Amino acid sequence: MKNRQIEASHSFAGLSNFRDVGGRKTEDGRYVKQGVLYRSEDLSRLTEEDIEVMRGLGIRMVIDVRTAGERKSKPSKLATGQGITTINLPFMDRSQELTRLQFFSMLTLRARELDFEKIMKDMYDKMAFDSQRQIQGVITLLAQQTNLPALIHCTGGKDRTGFLCAVILLLLGVPYAQVLDDYLLSNDRIAHRMKRMERFIRIASLFQLSPERIKPLLEVRRDYLDDVMQAVLARHGTMEAYLMSDCQIDQKDLQQVKQRLLDDEAITR
């Protein structure tokens, strides 16, 4: 299955995990439109030149799925205004958000019992089955033409953003193998940032945590996405059914998203 040229020539000094979600071919021969939906990590390191490039893309809406604490720690440099609206839809509530003190305490006092692979898989499960309101919010926003082009981002642009974009691509009919390709691209994009995070966690844990034990936290893995999508499809059969049933999204909004994000005609040749 041939995709269109996916990598557009968008270069940012302050972003490494930015990309166009478009360009993938669907099962029925259409293509996900390019220049309509983007994904990235947080926007706290944007340069003035980056901001100009971002504005040149015509982005009208930024959907920030970080927690309040994350937004305070790393505020976006892309100010709302001049045609850009930022919507905050945190994918964790305050009860799930660790303070810095709690995080350091966990690393130092509970280092020996921490299982980051389980923590990550539990997080993906919570995204699918405890964050339906936020998913509904994202899809409903994307159904409105006045909100497009849009950018979805979290902190690293890998897990929450990766999960959301996988949901959207599966709704649009992109084969799972292609969805997985897009999801796994983050590993190459953020490797340098994650290396710094690894060092930080090792120091914070007083070197009780080895790089190998930390690794599941710092990368996206096929089984993270496989497990959660298998759970979703086992319960509902299709992504559309999950979004309508669990996330309470009107079928009209789902059809609008398809209309906004897909080419009009299937490719017959």
- Residue-wise pLDDT for 6-41, tens only, equals 555 578 999 999 999 999 999 999 999 999 999 999
Whether the per-residue pLDDT at 103 is higher than 60: the answer is yes
pLDDT score for 267: 44
Average pLDDT over residues 149-164: 97
For 168, how many CA atoms within 13 A lie in the half-sphere containing its CB?
37
Q: Which residue has the higher pLDDT, 204 or 237?
A: 237
Q: Which residue has the higher pLDDT, 206 or 13?
A: 13
pTM: 0.91
Beta bridge partners of 40: 153
| CATH class entry, domain 19-260 | alpha beta
pLDDT band at 227 (very low <50, low <70, confident <90, very high): very high
Whether the per-residue pLDDT at 200 is higher than 90: the answer is no
Specify the 3-state DSSP secondary structure of 120. helix
129, exposed or middle or buried, with CB in 10 Å at 0-12, 13-18, 19+? Answer: middle
pLDDT score for 9: 53
- Residue spans per domain, the chain: 19-260
pLDDT band at 197 (very low <50, low <70, confident <90, very high): confident
Average the pLDDT over each of 80-84, 158-162, 204-208 and give the range with the smallest value: 80-84
Strands (E), the chain: 19-20, 37-40, 61-64, 85-88, 150-153
> How far is it, in rounded angstroms, from Cα 238 to Cα 231?
11
